[in-house]
Chain A
Amino acid sequence: MNALEIDAVWKYFGDFPALRDIGFKVTPGSVVALLGRNGAGKTTLLRILAGLAKPSKGSVKIHGSDVREEATRRRIGVLGHGISLYDELTATENLVLFGKLYGLDDAEKRAHQWLERTGLERVRDGLVREFSRGMRQRLAVARTFLHDPEVLLFDEPFTSLDDRAIAVLQSLITDAQSRGCTIVMSTHQLREAIELATHIALIRKGQLAYAGERRQEMLDDPAWLYRTFESESAS
């Protein structure tokens, strides 16, 4: 069974088609780099994959189930543009909150493990509003991985992260890959994304310009992808 099945997905905002007939499949354990220029539709597609928006047409299945089913959502971890943490709660309270919402029996234990893993154990009782930007980002990473998701969806995960947070996230992504997790991440950091990915999906103006395995040409010259497939789809 495929980890992700995106079938003829269209998304309209008013009359404007932000996504046009997007369709591809992702096998379990794949790392998909979702590439495209600003406004191409990457975030819209990721929001549909995360169940945060519904497609106007078409369907999305995760491990064969609808993404809005509760059981499916337990298997997904989402790291979006925002940190999705409450400023008025402490680091521990934030993680315990999400642990409980994901139905973890050992939410407190798991929260402490992840605080330690992300280097935040020392400030576990501090309010998030008092944290530095880097600490907030590491806590957001901990929140994403807290429930051991099988499918990870990242929207520009490395943008505006500090060095320590990048190192934490990279090691967690590598670890998740080795455990067979499926990862989909949108990014503008072409070289890093292509190095990390097993598959590439390139979106151009809401349409899929390329979806398939990573090729040697992409590793040799990341700009080759845009040169080759964006111009092809344009013509």
Chain B
Amino acid sequence: MKQEAAAKQIAPSASLRETWFSFLSQTLTIAGKDLRAEWRTKEALNASLAFSTVILVLFSFALDPNPEMLQEFSGGLLWLVFLFAGALVLNRSFAREMQNDCLDALLASPVPPAGLFLGKTLANYALLMTLEFLCLAEFGLLFNVRWLGAVGPLMLVMALGTWALTVVGTMFSALTVNLRLREVMLPVLVYPMMVPPMMAAMILTTDLLAGNALAGNMLWVRVLVGFDVIFTLLGVSLIDTVLVG
């Protein structure tokens, strides 16, 4: 009897564990597929890297990088580059699925829409973080900024700010996938939504590059964390309606 009761108790948790494992496995499969496809073509990464390099080089000519000025614009410049170059990566996310009607096969499969969304978000996140590291290195060289001293807090801000951009961008990439002018519509829809997290990320980055500690700006860190949590939950819960109607 005791064994039976114990088995009954274990069964639901085992089933729940299996469900989570299956969800995680499907999510990672989707992310892996997107990264593999991008690795083979490099179309989004090459375009966004070239674009961000051009912006950084042009700004290095346009602005006189004296230390005082740098303190004013470093965060803003970096995050604007991330935002513009990121749109190129995010635009490809669901557009890739339209080729050969692949989205239909994914939606007809047992992958939960939330898993599909998170898988794509993870792949975009990995691509954007790679892009941002490369941009940061270019930024350091072109503007003579030593950011290695604040590398830990800077990574935290980049991780939080990039997740905000990725989660909102992936959601709107799904929303605009059937539009003919999706390349234009995605930035038009995403940029206004990104005002709060971008403000936070810009202020935090500028302060960190000026040598200040993160501890004095915890309000902006909380803004980033709050935005990330709210928009991840919104994305996960709305993606089925966005994709299937």
Contacts and interface: CB of A to CB of B under 8 A. Distances in A.
A88 interface: yes
Nearest to B33: A97
Interface stretch (A30-38, A76-84, A156-164): A76-84
B104 A87 contact: no
Interface in B92-113: 99-102, 104-112
A61 interface: no
B109 A52 contact: no
B102 A86 contact: yes
Interface residues of A, number: 31
Contact of A54 (B40, B105, B106, B244): B244
B100 A53 contact: no
B41 interface: yes
Given A82-B100, A84-B101, A103 B36 contact: no
Given A86-B37, A87-B99, A88-B37, A103 B110 contact: yes
Nearest to A101: B109
B36 A88 contact: yes
B111 A51 contact: no
Identify whether the interface residues of A are mostly helix, strand, loop, or mixed: loop
B36 A89 contact: yes
Contacts of A78: 104-105, 108
Contact of A84 (B102, B111, B244): B102
A52 B244 contact: yes
A93 interface: yes
B108 A85 contact: no
B245 interface: yes
A54 B101 contact: no
Among B37, B104, B245: residue with most chain A CB under 10 A: B104
B71 interface: no
Interface stretch (B22-30, B121-129, B215-223): B22-30
Contacts of B110: 70-71, 73-74, 101-103
A84 B104 CA distance: 7
A86 B33 contact: yes
A100 B29 contact: yes
A53 B244 contact: yes
Nearest to B102: A84
Interface in B1-57: 22, 25-26, 29-30, 33, 36-37, 40-41
A100 to B, nearest CB: 5
A103 B26 CA distance: 8
A50 interface: yes
B100 to A, nearest CB: 5
Contact of A52 (B36, B41, B107): B107
Given A53-B244, A54-B244, A70-B110, A98 B25 contact: no
Interface in B78-96: none
Contact of B100 (A70, A73, A87, A101): A87
A68 B243 CA distance: 12
A84 B25 contact: no
Nearest to B112: A70
A106 B87 CA distance: 38
Contacts of B109: 73, 98, 101-102
Among B100, B104, B105, B110: residue with most chain A CB under 10 A: B105
B245 A93 contact: no
A214 interface: no
Contacts of B245: 53-54
Given A54-B244, A86-B100, A88-B36, A97 B108 contact: no
B102 A85 contact: yes
A51 B107 contact: yes
A52 B29 contact: no
A143 interface: yes
Interface string B215-244: 000000000000000000000000010001
10 contacts: A53-B245, A70-B110, A73-B110, A78-B104, A82-B104, A88-B36, A89-B40, A100-B29, A101-B110, A143-B105
Given A82-B101, A89-B40, 12 more contacts: A50-B104, A50-B108, A51-B244, A52-B104, A70-B110, A74-B110, A80-B101, A81-B101, A88-B36, A100-B26, A101-B29, A102-B109
Interface of A: 50-54, 68, 70-71, 73-74, 76, 78, 80-89, 93, 97-98, 100-103, 127, 143
Q: Lowest 7 A-B CB distances belong to which pairs?
A: A82-B101, A84-B105, A88-B37, A70-B110, A73-B110, A88-B40, A78-B108
